[in-house]
């Protein structure tokens, strides 16, 4: 299989606090992990690409100081939303690619995290 877990599934926090979301590949080593955000009735939008042991590459318009990504091991990447504000409320979902698939960049997704900032 290729199972990706994400924790927490749902979080509610106060404005100004920081929230950390974890993404783990449970049964494979993930060379690359991706973080997406989805606003209501919109598509999944890529926020950043993260490779183990190196700095994440952020998409245009995504603030790197706001959305801190750490990919410390081949099975774990974390996204920290710093000083969260209500406009950061969204659905965040991660994905991972397997090393050695040699193929078509298939991504395996976690179940997502619903963040609500009050």
Partner 1 sequence: ILNVEQSPQSLHVQEGDSTNFTCSFPSSNFYALHWYRWETAKSPEALFVMTLNGDEKKKGRISATLNTKEGYSYLYIKGSQPEDSATYLCAFSLTSGTYKYIFGTGTRLKVLA
Footprint on this chain of partner 1 (rule: CB under 8 A): 4, 9, 32, 34, 36, 41-46, 49, 93, 97, 103-112
CB of 21 to partner 1, least distance (A): 14
Which CB sits closer to partner 1, 18 or 39?
A: 39
CB of 115 to partner 1, least distance (A): 15
Which CB sits closer to partner 1, 14 or 41?
A: 41
Q: In what order do the strands lie in the sheet containing 67-73?
A: 4-7, 19-25, 76-81, 67-73
List the beta bridge partners of residue 38. 91
Which CB sits closer to partner 1, 18 or 101?
A: 101
The C-alpha R_g of the chain, in whole angstroms, comes to: 14
CB of 73 to partner 1, least distance (A): 19
| Residues sharing a CB contact under 8 Å with residue 24, sequence separation 6 or more, in sequence order | 4, 5, 6, 7, 75, 76
């Amino acid at each position: 299989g290729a199972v990706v877990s994400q924790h927490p599934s749902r979080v509610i926090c106060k404005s100004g606090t920081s929230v950390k979301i974890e993404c783990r590949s449970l049964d494979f080593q993930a060379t690359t992990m991706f973080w997406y955000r989805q606003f209501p009735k919109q598509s999944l939008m890529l926020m950043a690409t993260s490779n183990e042991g190196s700095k994440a590459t952020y998409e245009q318009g995504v603030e790197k100081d706001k959305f801190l990504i750490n990919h410390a091991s081949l099975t774990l990447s974390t996204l920290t939303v710093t000083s969260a504000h209500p406009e950061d409320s969204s659905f965040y979902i991660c994905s991972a690619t397997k090393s050695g698939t040699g193929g078509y960049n298939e991504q395996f997704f976690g179940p997502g995290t619903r963040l609500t900032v009050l």
